[in-house]
Structure 1
């Protein structure tokens, strides 16, 4: 008898191989070192990466006890940014900050899907949050991309796109100016350092006009980079820009 094999016959060998790999090559939690089936064990995830606390819906900074949910922080009220919303999965603080550094500078790429999963958790923790029409990662400059060998924002954006069901446009933006890293620039100079650094790709203008664009990055610190990107997208006709980041540096 000819014909295609039943679906279970394809799934069973793959499931068996995955179970065998887990048994022979157990993982260690990236935070505590305990044996786990995932990159970070469940207790560490619950302790350090569970959505919680009230944040400004615009910039994702934590709100004080006197500020209500859904209310913008004083900074966003005083000087509204170009972006419209931000979702952050966690604070950029110990011990999660070490995972960000291990992805970005240690090329530990299995961390990227875990970051994306926590970002999905953060989105689901905000019922009614408007999903973007498309996602794009913050682009790296050519020099830094060659040095690192990958763009950590793109590595996060791929599984995030699949999980949310939102199309990914990895070449929507280009880095027109290879600026100095924001982390090495004085806070008072960061806005000027990043100004004019991004452009919309020539063939992408039709995909932006009137659309809600989601910008993906690993960390949001001062917000100047994401604000410059949002300004660039708005000038190109984007109707709304939302940031999706793994970690948000708390204000000092």
Structure 2
């Protein structure tokens, strides 16, 4: 599926040197359209669970859930927690077609991951966007996870395959469900494309936001059962535990 606009001009000239900040409309000298003050105001996720990236009061710890039972994925990498103004930016990209915002956030996620790779985080062999059901894809017109994965793949020089994971059955939107219902909702929701090469590979799932981790867990289990050596998760933001500050 071609997610790009049908008209003959670009939505945003990304190579333009004289950028205007997409958040405050002020000029910026940075290589991407975000000024330094607005970038500093983003809700950076500094203290997190070492496994699932759940926001924690201190760093270098595992959350209670990961201590009780390790998830199927090895590590979640997310630059931000899902707070203001990042939550509004993601919603504009995800639900209102503001692709320049999605492109900007993906660029920053790419910088984050490049830094993490330099620190020793293993590079995956392929990026796999979380698939979307056919009905929801027709309604929205694009899969935001596939767009983020495509941009990341080009920036980081990592292959991206948006056809390896399939979602043959439409399920209820995860946002409408609690944690336990999300797990039930995803039973049998995903499958692998025929002939998918999985065995022995290090793969990374790509999504916009990680909430309970139910989708990532279901997909990671599917890939590990098919022989994947390691599954990581890359996303723009991680939600805090319900009720936390």
Q: What TM-score does the superposition give when structure 1 sets the normalisation length? A: 0.82
Structure 2 residue 154 is matched with structure 1 residue 162:
yes
CA distance in 2, matches of 1:165, 1:182: 31
Structure 2 residue 132 is matched with structure 1 residue 129:
no
SS in structure 2 opposite 1:188? helix
Asked whether the 8 Å contact 1:39–1:111 carries over to 2, the reply is: no
SS in structure 2 opposite 1:161? helix
Structure 2 residue 29 is matched with structure 1 residue 34:
no
- Larger fraction in helix: 1
Q: 1:188 offset after TM fit, Å?
A: 2.8
**Residue number among 145, 155, 162 corresponding to 1:153 in the alignment:** 145
Provide the aligned length of Structure 1 versus Structure 2. Answer: 226
CA RMSD of aligned residues (A): 2.2
Structure 2 residue 99 is matched with structure 1 residue 109:
yes
Change in Cα spacing, 1:122 to 1:234, as seen in structure 2 (3 Å) is: same
Asked whether the 8 Å contact 1:132–1:212 carries over to 2, the reply is: yes
Alignment map for 1:211-230 (pairs within 5 Å): 211-230=201-220
Which residue pairs with 1:15 in the alignment? Answer: none
SS in structure 1 opposite 2:99? coil
Change in Cα spacing, 1:191 to 1:19, as seen in structure 2 (3 Å) is: closer
Q: Which runs of 5+ in 2 are unaligned?
A: 1-12
**Residue number among 49, 53, 60 corresponding to 2:46 in the alignment:** 53
SS in structure 2 opposite 1:203? coil
- Kindly name which structure, 1 or 2, has the bigger radius of gyration based on alpha carbons: 1
Alignment map for 1:1-252 (pairs within 5 Å): 27=20, 29-36=21-28, 38-48=32-42, 50=44, 52-65=45-58, 68-69=59-60, 71-126=61-116, 127-204=119-196, 207-252=197-242
Q: Which runs of 5+ in 1 are unaligned?
A: 1-17
